[in-house]
Structure 1
Amino acid sequence: MQKPQHVFDREREWAGLVSFASEVSPGARLGVVSGRRRQGKSYLLQALASSMGGIYFPALEVTEAVALRLFADELIRFTGAPVPAFRDWIDAIPYLFGVVRDRAVPVVLDEFPYLVKASPELPSIIQRELGPGGSGATSTARVLLCGSAMSVMGGLLSGTAPLRGRAGLEMLIRPFDYRQAARFWGISDPRLAAQVHAVVGGTPAYRKEFVRGDIPAGPADFDDWVIRSVLNAEVPLFREARYLLAEETEIRDPSLYHSVLAAVADGNTTSGGIAGYVGRKSNEIAHPLRVLEDSHLLVKERDLFRPNRSYYRVAEPLITFYQAIMVREWARLERGDAATVWRGSRARFLSQVVGPHVEVLCREYALHADAAAGEVGSGVVPDPANRTQIQVDVAVLAPADHGRPRRVLSLGEVKWDRLMGAEHVARLRRARDLLTAKGYDTRDTALTCYSGAGFTPELGAEPGNDVRLITLDDLYA
């Protein structure tokens, strides 16, 4: 089925949804679609229901009785016939399966966590009707449960949850990657695209509604765009980072969760460092860390060269920007002094926001650029002789081959705003030698320099057979 022209990209997601919704085998089917708010889930599912003549029911935060009346209204629109008043979902779900019999159609229950909040038994009812002898046995409904509360949606199919094992589709709608985001924003300059992505990431809704359609006119307009659209207290994006946590139902102490995010954004990436920053014991922040991971606001990554060590990073760029730039100047920003705040924060933006963010983009690039890559991440290589450690920003490892040394395909360093030269290659070469001594297979390891500012004439003229030079143009090519 042709994807509607008004739906940008999402080719893979659209194909998966259409395949699920058009399956012709008898019996109702269940799918789960999740993702943080503003990613375009509802937009995509509305387009699916409209294209296939299905049912789209957007739940509201209301009582069960009101929700059932609204659901009945949606069934009336779908069938064109009267629908009985439902006493509860025990009445409503079998009736739904009864009216969807002639052809496979999607039935979207959007913002499903709202329904579960008012009717905790609803997943069990759906499970029963999908099971042997249930009303779903003769139905052709392709039910899609959708929601943004990641802790709720993640629990629908886990552990001993009633719907575990019932879903034929489990789809996560992610933000656009950095290349998709550049196209979505209509930005062709790689440097400008990287800076905008470091602020708003790939969340589709931030492109129009949240900045009132304001797009930087070019690289020279970036600073003014930040002042008039991101740091402007009258623009919706200004308070968005504060609201992201409020959408998660498991969060009972917002101040603690904001403090954990602030700790990570400030460079405290281990659980011990985060605990020290917020003034709590490590065991007291274990639950907040897990909830923030489940909410896709934090990402836990392991050190590729020290597997027993891991670190956290903030997954949502807007939160990093908010913590690094906005929190400490909130009062002045609310008074409308954005220009002064930005002048004083520009250097911090480059070092604490853009620099680390571009490292993430380079790792994403490396994952797709090397077909032999099995794992991409970062890591620290101890250098005992020099009593120091070498930070490898982008490490590419081949898939593990049991009984053989792990192959290192590439070791990379990233610099956003400075020229890279022979000293950076020498540091990577030293890291390669140290890994060789530790038993890694480094015979074909490339030394990769990722630079947003360029390379010294000497390095650019003769980089060497084992050296790769990657620019921002390469990242966005």
Structure 2
Amino acid sequence: MVFVNRQTELNWLEEVYRSGRAQLLVLYGRRRVGKTELLRFFCREKKHVFFVADLAPDREQLAAFSQRLWERAYGQAETGFSFPSWEAAFRFMGGLARQEQLIVVLDEFPYLMEANPAIPSILQKVWDEELRNTGVICILCGSYVGVMEREVLGYKSALYGRRTGQYLIEPLHFHDIAGFFPGRDSLWLVEAYAVLGGVPAYLLEFMDEDDLFAGIARRVLRRGTFLYEEPRFLLMQELREPANYFAVLRAIAHGKTRLNEITQAAGLHDRSATSRYLDILRDMGLIRRLVPVTEKQPQKSRRGIYRLRDQFLRFWFRFVYPNRSDLEEGETERVLETRIKPHFPDFVGPVFEEVCRQHLRFLGQRGKLSFYPYRLGSWWDGQNELDLLAINEDESAILVGECKWWGKPVGANVLSELQQKVKAVVPHFQRPPQVYYALFARNGFSEELHQKAAERHDLLLIEACQFHGNGNL
């Protein structure tokens, strides 16, 4: 298994392990993000019990977990054996952890709770009475982000106050994916990130692909491949009304970002139902609600818009889902040549904006900007839009940016337009901030712009070809 930039997570787990104390950890994140492989890598060469729950009835899951514990204790499975209850199984687990430090992973923990809602209360009871005084490292792992935050980490959860640590495993950032594709140039990496995002399971599918479009044809557009069916399986496994969620996701993928627009495009005609679907998709980590970075109370803002967090879902709902009939008939090349390639630069544009924001964060962390971007995002009002707006901690300085995924060099007119847009954002600050400018381009800048950048200290020009995996210029 390839691990790229998961060293922070592994260091955290190793530090917990070395503490020698009982630990109740919660590790969660969306599906395919690499949680299970991360935990398997961590557990190797350590005494552990690794149990993956599923949709089986409670009695069968208890029997399966009992077998894993028995095998850990006695070196072999005991056919037909099962503890009489989860409490008995957890107490036996505690007995094993008194003899030696023991990692116990309960993967897909929400499935256990679905089969037996009392599981958190039972675990809490045994933890209080016994487990906290042993050498156990119990890791509860789950993919449904909202369920884990609400039912395991939440104030009303039976386990509230017992956890000793938690970690949300996020998809990889743009700069991280270079580890999957050594030797590829930055433009290739931006386009690959636009298609696959930062989900390791998707990136692994393309590790041997040199030609991105050929890889799309082979691994995304062809029937029977993992990625061709992935979003369908992902949503149908988790949701009771997949058709409505499909309609919502397709609407967002096609540029509908506000509640009313999504409701109409999805054919739902019910804002409250759409809002419920959006909340669940946010819980799953598949979409996000964005507000202008100047908003002081984002949750209460009426200017929120919805975007897909998962780049591959955006690609799939934009190009695969609408063309399923042709793809089912084997028209892979025709779909690629006539439906995807002509629109691909426009499709990559919004992702390039996100890549530029990530890159700016990297530069700030390395002290290569005039100030650290305490808040970083985008900004818009009724008439103006900034691809990028960074604000320092006391709001005395801002950096505004434009990101152009154009085939031609960016000219000085873009800087002039950006300077005009700044006039709309400055009134959102208590006092006029110092303004810096950043322009990002796919294909370079005009000679005039280079001359301006050489003459002034407040203008940063960055070409996409300057992106590297370590985030340096």
Structure 2 length-normalised TM:
0.89
Query: How far apart, in 1, do the equivalents of 2:186 and 2:113 lie?
Result: 44
Tell me, yes or no, if structure 1 residue 205 matches structure 2 residue 201.
yes
Following TM superposition, by how much is the alpha carbon of 1:81 offset from its aligned partner in structure 2, in angstroms?
Answer: 6.3
Query: How far apart, in 1, do the equivalents of 2:373 and 2:338 lie?
Result: 41
Matched residue type, 1:269? T
| Structure 1 residue corresponding to 2:334, chosen from 340, 357, 360 | 340
Query: How far apart, in 1, do the equivalents of 2:229 and 2:201 lie?
Result: 14
Query: Corresponding residue for 1:385?
Result: none
Query: How far apart, in 2, do the equivalents of 1:107 and 1:303 lie?
Result: 43
Q: 1:109 to 1:342 in 2, by over 3 A?
A: same
Matched residue type, 2:98? R
Tell me, yes or no, if structure 1 residue 276 matches structure 2 residue 276.
no
Query: How far apart, in 2, do the equivalents of 1:398 and 1:247 lie?
Result: 43
Tell me, yes or no, if structure 1 residue 90 matches structure 2 residue 87.
yes
Tell me, yes or no, if structure 1 residue 263 matches structure 2 residue 258.
no
Query: Corresponding residue for 1:413?
Result: 402
Contact 1:199-1:321 at 8 Å conserved across structures: yes
Following TM superposition, by how much is the alpha carbon of 1:438 offset from its aligned partner in structure 2, in angstroms?
Answer: 5.2
Tell me, yes or no, if structure 1 residue 246 matches structure 2 residue 236.
yes
Query: How far apart, in 1, do the equivalents of 2:176 and 2:428 lie?
Result: 39
Tell me, yes or no, if structure 1 residue 18 matches structure 2 residue 14.
yes
Query: Corresponding residue for 1:215?
Result: 208
Query: How far apart, in 2, do the equivalents of 1:226 and 1:67 lie?
Result: 39
Query: Corresponding residue for 1:386?
Result: none
Q: How does 1:311-322 map to 2 (within 5 A)?
A: 311-322=305-316
Structure 1 portions without partners, runs of 5+ = 383-388
Query: Corresponding residue for 2:369?
Result: none
Matched residue type, 1:420? V
Q: How does 1:272-421 map to 2 (within 5 A)?
A: 272-279=260-267, 280-305=269-294, 308=301, 309-345=303-339, 346-351=341-346, 353-371=347-365, 372-380=372-380, 389-399=383-393, 401=394, 406-418=395-407, 419-421=409-411
| Structure 1 residue corresponding to 2:451, chosen from 435, 449, 461 | 461
Following TM superposition, by how much is the alpha carbon of 1:85 offset from its aligned partner in structure 2, in angstroms?
Answer: 3.4
Deviations 1:230-257 (A, max 9, x none): 2122321111122222343xx3211111
Matched residue type, 2:74? G
Tell me, yes or no, if structure 1 residue 52 matches structure 2 residue 46.
yes
SS of the equivalent of 1:226 reads: helix
Query: Corresponding residue for 1:428?
Result: 418
SS of the equivalent of 2:99 reads: coil
| Structure 1 residue corresponding to 2:170, chosen from 174, 178, 185 | 174
Query: Corresponding residue for 1:192?
Result: 188
| Structure 2 residue corresponding to 1:69, chosen from 47, 63, 68 | 63
Deviations 1:350-406 (A, max 9, x none): 21x211111111111122222411111111256xxxxxx22100110112x3xxxx3
Q: 1:167 to 1:330 in 2, by over 3 A?
A: same
Following TM superposition, by how much is the alpha carbon of 1:194 offset from its aligned partner in structure 2, in angstroms?
Answer: 0.8
Greater RCO, 1 or 2 (C-alpha within 8 Å, sep 6+)? 2
Following TM superposition, by how much is the alpha carbon of 1:443 offset from its aligned partner in structure 2, in angstroms?
Answer: 4.9
Greater mean alpha carbon deviation, residues 441-450 or residues 417-426: 441-450
Contact 2:23-2:138 at 8 Å conserved across structures: yes
Query: How far apart, in 1, do the equivalents of 2:126 and 2:245 lie?
Result: 39
Query: How far apart, in 1, do the equivalents of 2:292 and 2:324 lie?
Result: 35
Greater mean alpha carbon deviation, residues 456-465 or residues 439-448: 439-448
Structure 1 length-normalised TM:
0.88
Contact 2:144-2:283 at 8 Å conserved across structures: no
Q: 1:459 to 1:8 in 2, by over 3 A?
A: closer
Matched residue type, 2:89? A
SS of the equivalent of 1:285 reads: helix
Query: Corresponding residue for 1:122?
Result: 119
Contact 1:206-1:237 at 8 Å conserved across structures: yes
Following TM superposition, by how much is the alpha carbon of 1:344 offset from its aligned partner in structure 2, in angstroms?
Answer: 1.4
SS of the equivalent of 1:420 reads: coil
Query: How far apart, in 1, do the equivalents of 2:72 and 2:277 lie?
Result: 43
Matched residue type, 1:151? G
| Structure 1 residue corresponding to 2:467, chosen from 449, 455, 475 | 475
RMSD between superposed Cα atoms in Å: 2.2
SS of the equivalent of 1:430 reads: helix
Query: How far apart, in 1, do the equivalents of 2:142 and 2:295 lie?
Result: 37
Query: Corresponding residue for 2:26?
Result: 32
Query: How far apart, in 1, do the equivalents of 2:14 and 2:237 lie?
Result: 29
Matched residue type, 1:473? C
Contact 1:408-1:441 at 8 Å conserved across structures: no
Q: 1:439 to 1:79 in 2, by over 3 A?
A: closer
| Structure 2 residue corresponding to 1:138, chosen from 127, 130, 133 | 133
Query: Corresponding residue for 2:104?
Result: 107
Structure 2 portions without partners, runs of 5+ = 366-371
Q: How many residues matched?
A: 449
Following TM superposition, by how much is the alpha carbon of 1:29 offset from its aligned partner in structure 2, in angstroms?
Answer: 2.3
| Structure 2 residue corresponding to 1:152, chosen from 147, 156, 161 | 147
Contact 1:303-1:311 at 8 Å conserved across structures: no
Contact 2:193-2:311 at 8 Å conserved across structures: yes
Contact 2:96-2:102 at 8 Å conserved across structures: no
Tell me, yes or no, if structure 1 residue 80 matches structure 2 residue 74.
yes
Matched residue type, 1:148? S
Deviations 1:310-363 (A, max 9, x none): 211100111110111112211111111111111112232221x21111111111
Deviations 1:144-174 (A, max 9, x none): 0112233332221113111112111111112
Following TM superposition, by how much is the alpha carbon of 1:75 offset from its aligned partner in structure 2, in angstroms?
Answer: 1.6
SS of the equivalent of 1:340 reads: helix
| Structure 2 residue corresponding to 1:43, chosen from 37, 47, 54 | 37
Contact 1:109-1:143 at 8 Å conserved across structures: yes
Aligned-pair identity (%): 27
SS of the equivalent of 1:38 reads: coil
Greater mean alpha carbon deviation, residues 191-200 or residues 435-444: 435-444
